[in-house]
C-alpha cells in the first residue's frame, strides 16, 4: 500500500515522507534506485529508467500482527534495518566511486 508512514514508525527522520510509485519518477535521471518493500521485487522487476537498481527486501510492517508493542517492534526493526542497509549500500557506492589510486 502506498501512502504516509504510520505513527509506529516513531516519526524518526520520515518528516512528510511517503511511499511512491515508479510512475512519479519516469523521465528523471538517477544513479541509484533502491527498492525496499518485499512486494517491490515482484511488482517492480525492471526499473524503466537509467541507473543501477538495488533491492533491499523488508516485510511490510503494516501487516504486522500482535500486541501494540510487538507491532511497534516490527516497525522499529524495519526502520533500523533500512538505516543499516542504506548506510552500508552508500558506503559501497562511495567506495566504488573512488579512483583506483584512492584519491
3-state secondary structure of 71: helix
* pLDDT one-digit tens code per residue, 76-98: 898 889 889 999 999 999 998 88
Give the pLDDT confidence of 1-51 residue by residue, as tens digits. Answer: 444 455 555 555 555 667 777 788 888 888 888 888 776 556 665 667 778
Mean pLDDT of 47-75: 85
Strands 32-37 and 52-58: parallel
| pLDDT computed for residue 70 by the predictor | 92
pLDDT for the residue numbered 92? 92
> How many residues are given for the chain?
103
* pLDDT the model gives residue 86: 92
For residue 1, what pLDDT is reported? 42
First-last CA distance in the chain:
44
Q: Return the percentage of the chain with pLDDT > 90, whole number.
A: 15
Amino acid at each position: 500500500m502506498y501512502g504516509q508512514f504510520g505513527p509506529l514508525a516513531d516519526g524518526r527522520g520520515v518528516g512528510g515522507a511517503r511511499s511512491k510509485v515508479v510512475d512519479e519518477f519516469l523521465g528523471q535521471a538517477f544513479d541509484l534506485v533502491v527498492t525496499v518493500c518485499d512486494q517491490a521485487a515482484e511488482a517492480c522487476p525492471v526499473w524503466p529508467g537509467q541507473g543501477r537498481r538495488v533491492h533491499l527486501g523488508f516485510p511490510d510492517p503494516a501487516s504486522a500482527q500482535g500486541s501494540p508493542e510487538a507491532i511497534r517492534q516490527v516497525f522499529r526493526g524495519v526502520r533500523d534495518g533500512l538505516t543499516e542497509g542504506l548506510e552500508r549500500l552508500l558506503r559501497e557506492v562511495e567506495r566504488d566511486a573512488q579512483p583506483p589510486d584512492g584519491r
